[in-house]
Amino acid sequence: MPVSFPKLFEPITIRDLIIKNRIFSPAHGTSFSRGGLVTDELVAYHQARARGGAGLIVLEGMGFDPTFGFPDLYLYAGTDACIPGFARLAEACHAHDCKVFAQLFHAGRAVRASHDGSRPATYSASDIPDERYRVVPAPMTSQIVRDVINAYGDAAARFEQAGLDGVEVLASMGYLISQFLNPRVNIRDDEFGGSLDNRLRFLREIIADIRSKTGPNMVVGIRISGDEMTEGGLTADEAIEICEAIDGDGEIDYFSVIAGSSASPAGWIHVFPPMAVEHAYVAPIAASIKAKVSRPVLVAGRVNQPQLAEAIIASGQADMCGAARALICDPEFANKARDGRADDIRACIGCNQACVGHRLAHHGISCIQHPETGRELTYGELKPAERPLDVMVVGAGPAGMKAASVAAERGHKVTLYEQSAQLGGQALLAQLLPGRAEFGGIVTNLVREIELAGVEVKKNLKVTADLVRSLAPDVVMLATGATPRMPKLEGADEAHVVDAWSVISGEANIGSSVVIADWRCDWVGLGLAEKLARDGCHVRLLSGGIVAGEAIQGIVRDQWIGELHKLGVEMIPYARLFGADRDTAYFQHMTSGEAVICENVDTLVVCYALRAETDLGPKLNGFDGKIQMIGDCLSPRTAEEAVLEGLKAGSEL
């Protein structure tokens, strides 16, 4: 069978290591380690991606030195105790011809972690404060610098002993090595500060120490931000100059290029770029570095389709493409691309909810579209049903579609009912907002899953209790979702008050001066504010949380708030909607209790709590079959919980 993406599936040799294709899983935290050590969950997670066809996996950045050692939160390579676990992980991935590198990570001043609830001392090149973490680091003494250099080499030796294929030194994203490289952060006056050669000395000596303690076949690379994309960060020109110098030393084997920095909210957005950021936008940055160096260049950053990766490789912008979130969303990404099944790939939509969001909360990572990720030991292999059942799924939102596809794949006879003409539920609304069209991918992907599983779909049919009884299925899964509700407001009869859904769908007539009462503090309020501001309205967004978008992943929120600021949207937090009249909206500050009054209001848009749609359930009292409620009709939450409950329900039949 001819390969659909020939450049993407060409082998590549780095040093003397042959990697079977150009797809790699870049380093990303998982929260699956325990006590700093490899667990069964971590092995199963990476094994799924190795089995799925990735050519290379770079393990998550791990600590290795007491100046940045938090074994409860990160893998830790600072003692020999790590070796057996890494050996087991390497063996599991090598069984699928997938190579494995480890990444060594020291955050320097960028630390929010704690051992006991108190704030630890942090270390950096100098005492320049960190804008995002709001810490003042201690300048590393010469002895600490030497100790850390030595610890890098010792950790690399442990990786080699465990049978890993290489080691990647994280020099990117505003972390410790980047802090030494940056002349605005490194103001030392010793041999590690000042000139470019002096600022490079820390990185060069780390590489030399690793080389001195590992054998000739060990691959050594660095990861660098080709542009930190923030005020005071390393610029693209500075990154090129650094890479040229390191390349000229002849001691490393590849450059892995990313963008962004942990040092500011603006830079952090580009470490995990959300769906509002352009696809594959780091590739031209990588190309600028590739033009100046002789070693292979790897790139990552919003590459979620094999077509994008193929174009990057074919155009010579990079030699390998990283797909961290794409492989979280679909571990079989590489195999499907290789076998000409690109349409079956479950494309990442860049929502950051269950991957980045879970990791930053120190929960095991997953995916809102593919909750099997991170739960491989439980759901990694669907077990055939012991007895095929006749299953009726009512409601074709994310919960219903996932439950239907999983149950059908296991061998049950599944019919999915939807009262409207389209499948997708609330996701159909989410995709209508500015910058959120990609969210519709969850619908596209789940529709493909039910097609492949052989689910029978009936649209434009409202399910009644009489219909259920006449069909007499073995199981009824209620996934009927939720509907808008309006809070009781004093004076609402005089005001022009509309609900959020009617505005998104274009059904509501909106005036030129709009106040949004955002109880939900999620994507709805932010999205409506952007939509209406772009439509030319004067918009005031009053949120019931400490910040608009409080309930969604921080990077997504921060990027969105930046857009709203540019559009002139007024944002007021801690606001509880109280009442309205003909041209005024009345709020109460949630902590002071004082009035917050918005005058000259044409339209008040209410983003309030949803109401679970439970009408059908009570009408089925006495029904002989099993009845189960999943998703928002059980309790209104998000797409993540809906799809997860669909997986669980379909798996447990």
What residues act catalytically?
175
In 47-146, DSSP assigns E strands to: 56-62, 99-104, 123-124, 138-139
**d(C-alpha 233, C-alpha 224), whole Å:** 12
β-partners of residue 244 are: none
Q: What is the 3-state secondary structure (H, E, C) of 491-517?
A: CCCCCCEEEHHHHHCCCCCCCCEEEEE
Return the structure tokens found at 639.
């797409």
**d(C-alpha 227, C-alpha 286), whole Å:** 10
Phi/psi-derived region of residue 600, left when phi > 0, alpha when psi is between -120 and 50, beta in every other case = left
> Residue type for 394, please?
V
Return the structure tokens found at 61.
């950045």
**d(C-alpha 404, C-alpha 478), whole Å:** 11
Angle between helices 83-94 and 40-51 (to 10 degrees): 20
C-alpha closest to that of 258 among 32, 103, 99:
103
In 180-294, DSSP assigns E strands to: 219-225, 254-258
C-alpha closest to that of 350 among 430, 449, 233, 448:
430
Contact 285, 257 (CB under 8 A): yes
Q: Which helix (H) or strand (E) holds 572?
A: strand 570-572
Contact 85, 35 (CB under 8 A): no
Backbone dihedral angles phi then psi of residue 103, each to the nearest 5 degrees: -115, 130
Backbone dihedral angles phi then psi of residue 395, each to the nearest 5 degrees: 110, 120
Q: Which helix (H) or strand (E) holds 314?
A: helix 306-314
Return the structure tokens found at 637.
């939450």
The total of other beta-carbon atoms located within 10 Å of residue 487's CB is 15
The total of other beta-carbon atoms located within 10 Å of residue 503's CB is 26
In terms of DSSP bridges, do strands 538-543 and 570-572 run parallel, antiparallel, or are they unpaired? parallel
Return the structure tokens found at 160.
């080699």
**d(C-alpha 76, C-alpha 273), whole Å:** 27
Contact 582, 513 (CB under 8 A): no
Return the structure tokens found at 447.
């529709």
**d(C-alpha 347, C-alpha 437), whole Å:** 13
In terms of DSSP bridges, do strands 584-589 and 575-580 run parallel, antiparallel, or are they unpaired? antiparallel
**d(C-alpha 26, C-alpha 8), whole Å:** 16
> Residue type for 87, please?
A
The total of other beta-carbon atoms located within 10 Å of residue 387's CB is 8
CA 547 to chain centre: 21
Backbone dihedral angles phi then psi of residue 191, each to the nearest 5 degrees: -70, -10
